[in-house]
Amino acid sequence: MVHFWESNNWGFIALLAVVFASLIVASLLKKALPFLRKSLMPTSVLAGIILLVIATVYFYASKGQVLFDTTFFGGNGSQVLEVITYHMLALGFIASTLVNNERKITKERATEVLNTGLTTVSTYLLQGVLGLAITIVASLIVPKIFPAAGVILPFGFGQGTGQALNYGTIYEESYGFTGGAHFGLTIAAMGFLSASIGGTVHLNILKKRGKILFKNDSAEIFSPEEIQTSNERPMSGSWDKLTLQIALVVVVYFVAYGLMALIGSFVGENLRSTIFGLNFLFGVLVAVATKELLKLFNKKKVLHKQYTNNFLLTRISNFCFDVMIVCGIAVIRIDYIAEYWGIILILAFVGLFATYIYNHFVAKKLFPSYCEEQFLAMYGMLTGTASTGIILLRELDGDFKTPASENLVYQNFPAIAFGFPMMIIASIAPEMPVLTLGIIIAYFVVINLILFRKQIFKKKTATPPSVIKGNKSVAFVNSFGSKASYFVMYLHKYSPTKLILSHK
């Protein structure tokens, strides 16, 4: 029999209460302290850091007792926080994928979107090359360091808390990387700090040049059409529309779980861990299929109203990512990674500068008409999340007049298509770190040949057709870029839709 007055039945609620209370406190601190507001640090990151500091102080004050594993939090709060972080990543992506996007994209914009996706993947690879090279060399000096640990840098910086936890856990459980999960979470936290530091420094440089003025937060007003369109189900009826959106997201995720479980039943333990580490990708694929199925039902008049609501789905997505970030940072165990602090700081330092320099170079070369806007959006995303990129972008392009914000939206599918091999490569890194480094370097070169195809082969138009025809490698790269742009035009409507642009 369940006794509801027993404290262990309230542990989960207590955990959630602390997570949400930290968000409230962080928001109040940002309002009250100008330096925090100007730091551009997301509220969710600040909330996670607050809980991390409290948990660390408690750990050392109590001589080794973990705050979230006390009876007050049900005895296994740390594990629950990791599970929440894992699931919120996929749920957030599913919610954003289900958003309907009917805007058209031109060939020129498709090329910019393709280049943005290629920049994303190329930055992942650059972070992977540098991170893996650092830990391979460090492992030769300090044997305790896990040689493949550096591969987590692009997942922590480039993809955020959820994927850093996924790969850290895989390395810990399957390859004996002690503290791997917490290592990944710490790298992700360092990524958010890098976004705040690098972004603030760059914005101050632009401010000194007279290009921007720092602004106070202002409330965004949504029109009725942005909240609900005329062909949707009513906001409230026999069941609330928010309930319907949550139901769609959860059912899609459950179908994705069934698909992962089915594939996992035919593979070994290590590969199964990789498959479940890609839960967000399976969720996106099922969400795309679900969205197309709903469109088909509407077209065939099986359904007479649109069941998805963009406004509510975006709110759900932002909620999931906020909670994911808070939980992912709060659950970090400083004692687990104490011996790795040196290598973590080196990785964070190198990740910050490499991402900053490379993305600014790409923005100047490929996006000259809105170089600074593209740079801020990409740098923020590739050290934090899409929301972090939007936060930085808003300081320079508050009305989103440049295509930079749209580039973040539409680049997802080219990034997934070209970036998927990186996930496979990362799964072999613990067994063959040096070979993996060589593969990543080679792939980085290939992606950059495609990314800078016009600059590298800019004399194509002046070259006789017979010469181009004879040079098959040049012809292939040039034609590939054009064909890929058309591919983006076809697939852009499936891209996970942008997070709310005012998200803080």
Per-residue pLDDT tens over the stretch 463-493:
455 444 555 555 555 555 555 554 455 444 4
Could you give the CA distance from residue 216 to residue 108 in angstroms, rounded to a whole number?
A: 35
**DSSP type of residue 232:** B
Reference 364, options 349, 353, 379, 351; nearest CA is: 379
| DSSP run (H or E) holding 182 | helix 180-208
Reference 175, options 191, 152, 154; nearest CA is: 152
- pTM of the predicted model as reported, rounded to 2 decimal places: 0.73
Identity of residue 112: E
pLDDT band at 406; cut points 50, 70, 90: confident
> Which structure tokens are listed for 405?
């914000």
pLDDT band at 210; cut points 50, 70, 90: confident
Could you give the CA distance from residue 193 to residue 395 in angstroms, rounded to a whole number?
A: 18
Crossing angle of the two packed helices 269-277 and 161-175, in degrees rounded to 10 = 170
Q: Are 444 and 126 in contact (CB under 8 A)?
A: yes
Let me know how many helices (H) and strands (E) the chain has, helices first. 22, 0
What average pLDDT does this structure show over 206-234?
Answer: 63
> Which structure tokens are listed for 380?
């923020």
Q: Are 424 and 278 in contact (CB under 8 A)?
A: no
Share of the chain above pLDDT 90, in %: 33
> Which structure tokens are listed for 296?
């088909």
Averaging pLDDT over each range in 90-94, 113-117, 250-254, which range is the top one?
Answer: 250-254
Q: What is the mean pLDDT of the chain?
A: 82
pLDDT surpassing 60 at residue 32:
yes
Tokens 């989103």 map to which residue? 400
Q: Which residue has the higher pLDDT, 377 or 160?
A: 377
Q: State how far the alpha carbon of 158 is from the alpha carbons of 210, 243, 494, in Å.
A: 30, 32, 21
